[in-house]
Amino acid sequence: MKPSPRPACLIFVYAFGLGLFACADPVPEQEPVKKDYIRKIEGVDEPLSPEEIQKGEVLIAYSDCYTCHQKDKRSKGPAFESIAARYPANKGYVSLLALKIIQGGSGAWGHPVMTPHPTLTEDDAKLMATYILSLKTGN
């Protein structure tokens, strides 16, 4: 029985491939693309009640919010400060965010899904949203 020429061919192909790889130009380094995922919504900020802000902060501290959010940096969900930077601090957006807190949702910040919190009352969710919107830089 004759030895098969296959191993010799495979060695040649392998060596040729390594030679091509060694001669290839390295990929030029590119700076990472920064995505600004905070699309600011235009609107007028209104004064927020310090008492409501404090109550909202307490409600958030005793909820599951910090499982997915942090105050100043993104984790599973956006940072509370990023949410505050996006939305105007007024009653209309407090109500909108309260609804999002209760119903949950996705798409506003990419792919993460916020779980619904149907046991929260609308008033408590509004207090939580008030606290979040109070975190605008400079407030």
* Residue 38 in tokens: 């905070």
Helix axes 122-133, 91-103, angle to 10 degrees: 120
- Domain 50-133: CATH class, spelled out: mainly alpha
The answer to whether residue 93 scores a pLDDT higher than 80 is yes
pLDDT band at 78 (very low <50, low <70, confident <90, very high): very high
Say which DSSP state 49 is in.
-
The answer to whether residue 13 scores a pLDDT higher than 70 is no
pTM higher than the cut 0.75: no
Boundaries of every domain in the chain: 50-133
